[in-house]
Amino acid sequence: MKVVMANDHGAVELAARLRKHLEDRGFDVVYLGTESTESVDYPDKAEECVNEFRKGGYEFGVLLCGTGIGISISANKMAGIRCALPQTRYSAEMTKRHNDANFIAFGGRVEYSEKPEEILDAFIDASFEGGRHERRIAKMMALEGR
């Protein structure tokens, strides 16, 4: 199982924690982030990560910046990407079950009420339900480029 991960300078510590957590769970993590607090532009990291993901063979992608907002917006500008920015385990589970998200984002400067590792686990352990959600995802993805 392979995962691709990237971060900017605003999430170095959290990226390291989540990377270790994924590896402990048995994932092979292709890490494209920075380990430095020297400024890196999050749109560039999002693009690099999505382009790697598009090569195939990845379960999902993980993106991190200071808030998770800028990097998730950047990724969602790219065709075929559904990057969620959940703040709880419940929202992480539901974004996979109902939205079939293929990326998850986190903020390195965000104070989460639940451990980010647990939020990530909820995302990983959930499965897409299909059914009525397939129609909605098709409509969502049809909005690209409008």
The alpha carbons of the chain give a radius of gyration, in whole angstroms, of 14
What is the DSSP code string of 40-86? --HHHHHHHHHHHHTTS--SEEEEEESSSHHHHHHHHTSTT--EE--
Residue with tokens 């499965």: 127
Helix (H) or strand (E) holding 16: helix 12-24
Q: How far apart are CA 79 and CA 92, in angstroms?
A: 21
Annotated catalytic residues are 65, 98
